[in-house]
Structure 1
Amino acid sequence: MADTKREIERKYESDDSGLPDLTGVAGVAGIVDKGTAELDATYYDTSDLRLAAASITLRRRTGGHDAGWHLKLPVGPGVRDEIQAPLSDTVPDELAGLVRARVREGQLVPVVRLRSDRDLRDLVAADGRQLAEVGVDTVRAERLFGGEGTAQWTEIEVELADGEDQRILDKVEKRLRKANVRPSKSASKLARALAETRGGHPRPKDEPAEPVTAGDHVLAYVRAQRDAIVDLDPAVRQDAEESVHDMRVATRRLRSTFKSFPKVLDRKVTDPIGDELKWLAGELGVGRDQEVLAERLDTVLDDLPATLVHGPIQDRLATWSKAEYGGARRRLLGVLDSARYLTLLDTLDAVVADPPVLKAAAKKPKKAKKPKKAEKVLAKAVRKDFAKVAALIEEAMEQPPGTDRDLGLHEARKKAKRTRYAAEAAGPALGSPAKALTKAMKSLQGLLGDHQDSVMVRVTLGELSAVAHAAKENTFTYGLLYGREERRAEEVEAALPEEWEAIKGSMDV
Structure 2
Amino acid sequence: MTEIPKAADADSVTEPASASTLLARYLHRQRETILDGQIAAGAHDDPDAVADMVVAARRARGALAAHRKTARTQPEVHRLIEELRWFGITVGSAHELRTQAAWLLAAADLLRPRYVRGPVRARISGYFADRTRPAWIAGRELLASPRFPAMVEDLMAEERLLRSTVVPGIDDVDNTAVLEALLERVRSRMRAVESARGEDTRDAAMHGLRKAIRRTRYYLESVDDVAPARNAQACQGLAAVQDLLGGHQDAAVAKHHLMQIAREAENAGESTFTYGLLLQREIDRAAQYSAALPSAYWQALRGARVMADVHLGSAAE
Task: Identify the match of residue 508 of structure 1 among 300, 306, 309.
Answer: 306
Give the alignment of 1:221-300 within 5 angstroms. 221-237=26-42, 238-240=44-46, 242-262=48-68, 267-300=74-107
Q: Is the 8 A contact 1:263 1:358 kept in 2?
A: no
Aligned with 2:225 (options 409, 413, 428): 428
> Partners in 1 of 2:179 and 2:231 — Cα distance?
9
In the superposition, relative to structure 1, how do residues 504 and 345 fare at CA in structure 2: closer, same or farther (>3 Å)? closer
Per-residue deviation at 1:482?
Answer: 0.7
Counting only pairs closer than 5 Å after superposition, residues 37-76 of structure 1 correspond to structure 2 as: none
Equivalent-residue separation in structure 2 for 1:291 and 1:350 (angstroms): 34
Q: Cα distance, 1:377 vs. partner? A: 3.2
1:309 and 2:112 are equivalent in the alignment: no
| Alignment partners' CA distance in 1, 2:115 and 2:169 | 64
1:80 is matched with none
Pairing 1:65-144 to 2, within 5 Å after superposition: 97=1, 100-102=2-4
Answer whether contact 1:447 1:492 (CA < 8 A) is retained.
Answer: yes
CA contact (8 A) 1:215 1:264 kept: no
- 1:209 maps onto 2:18 in alignment: no
Distance of 2:7 and 2:271 partners within structure 1: 64
Structure 1 unaligned segments of length 5 or more: list them.
Answer: 1-96, 104-202, 364-375
In 2 relative to 1, CA 473–505 (structure 1 residues): closer, same or farther, beyond 3 Å? same
Measure how far apart 1:353 and its partner are.
2.7
Identify if the C-alpha distance between structure 1 residues 437 and 315 changes in structure 2 by more than 3 Å, giving closer, same or farther. same
Correspondence for 2:292: 495
Per the alignment, residue 264 of structure 2 pairs with 467
C-alpha separation in 2, matches of 1:401 and 1:436: 34
Matched, 1:358 2:167: yes
**What is the aligned length?**
300
Q: TM-score when scaled to structure 2? A: 0.87
Contact persistence 1:214–1:264 (CA under 8 A): no
Give the TM-score of the pair, scaled to structure 1. Answer: 0.56
Distance 1:361 1:270 in 2: 12
Higher fraction of helix: 2
**Equivalent position of 1:378 in the other structure:** 175
**Is this contact kept in 1: 2:206–2:245, CA < 8 A?**
yes
Secondary structure of the 1:310 match is coil
SS of equivalent residue, structure 2 residue 306: coil
| Percent of residue pairs bearing the same amino acid type | 25
Provide Cα deviations, 1:278-303, integer angstroms capped at 9, x if missing partner.
Answer: 11111013212212211221221122
Q: Check conservation: 2:24, 2:160, Cα contact below 8 A.
A: no
Q: Any idea what SS the aligned residue of 2:243 has? A: helix
* C-alpha contact 2:62 2:215 (8 A) present in aligned 1: yes
3-state SS of 2:3 partner = helix
C-alpha displacement of 1:496: 1.4
Distance of 2:160 and 2:107 partners within structure 1: 48
Query: Which residue type is aligned with residue 508 of structure 1?
Result: V
Q: Secondary structure at the match of 1:400?
A: coil
Deviations 1:160-214 (A, max 9, x none): xxxxxxxxxxxxxxxxxxxxxxxxxxxxxxxxxxxxxxxxxxx972232244211
Q: How many Å apart are 1:360 and its aligned residue?
A: 7.8
User: How far, CA to CA, are the matches of 2:102 and 2:18 in structure 1?
Assistant: 44
Return 468-477 or 300-309, whichever deviates more. Answer: 300-309
8 Å contact kept, 1:257–1:421: yes
C-alpha distance in 2, partners of 1:209/1:477? Answer: 59
Amino acid aligned to 2:116: V
Structure 2 unaligned regions, length at least 5: 308-317
Q: Distance in 2 between matches of 1:409 and 1:360?
A: 29
1:418 to 203, 215, 234: 215
Q: Distance in 2 between matches of 1:383 and 1:458?
A: 35
336 and 357 in structure 1: CA distance in 2 versus 1, 3 angstrom threshold: farther
Distance change >3 Å, CA 414–CA 362, structure 1 → 2: closer
SS class of match (2:107):
helix
Counterparts of 1:409 and 1:343 in 2: how far apart (Å)? 34
Give the Cα–Cα distance (whole angstroms) in 2 for the partners of residues 399 and 264 of structure 1. 32
Counterparts of 1:377 and 1:301, CA distance in 2: 52
* Residues 264 and 361, structure 1, Cα contact 8 Å, conserved in 2: yes
Displacement of 1:380: 3.1
Alpha-carbon distance between aligned partners in 1 of 2:244 and 2:120, rounded to the nearest angstrom? 28
Which residue identity does 2:167 align to in structure 1? L
- Cα shift at 1:361: 4.9
SS of the residue 1:422 aligns to: helix
| Distance change (3 Å), C-alpha of 1:339 and 1:391 | same
